[in-house]
Amino acid sequence: MEIISKQKNLLKVSFKPFDQGLLNAVNDKIWESKDIESSGFQITHPEVGEAIFTLRTKSKEAKSIWNSALDSLKKDFASAAKQKL
């Protein structure tokens, strides 16, 4: 993971290698916030193996929303790990 751009309302992060399922889960959590202008990732080229995730907010700090989404996913996975099948 490499931060490409970090501003108050904009965060761009590069992932090499990347897991599309994990990035989709993070993106879903981010969209739960009402302050999102845009959020998503672009795969630059399948052979290169890089995804660029871009988060743009209306007023809140992008880094804060990113970290909140990761914390929420961490809790979800911890809860799921405690359940037995």
Mean pLDDT across the chain, nearest whole number? Answer: 94
Here the CATH number for the domain that contains residue 8 is 3.30.1360.10
Domains contained in the chain, number:
1
The distance between the two most distant Cα atoms of the chain, rounded to a whole number of Å, is: 43
What are the pLDDT digits (tens) for 45-84?
878 889 999 999 999 999 999 999 999 999 999 998 888 7
Domain that holds residue 13: 2-82
Res 20: pLDDT = 93
Which helix (H) or strand (E) is 79 found in, with range? helix 62-82
Q: In this structure, are residues 51 and 26 in contact, taking their beta carbons and an 8 Å threshold?
A: no
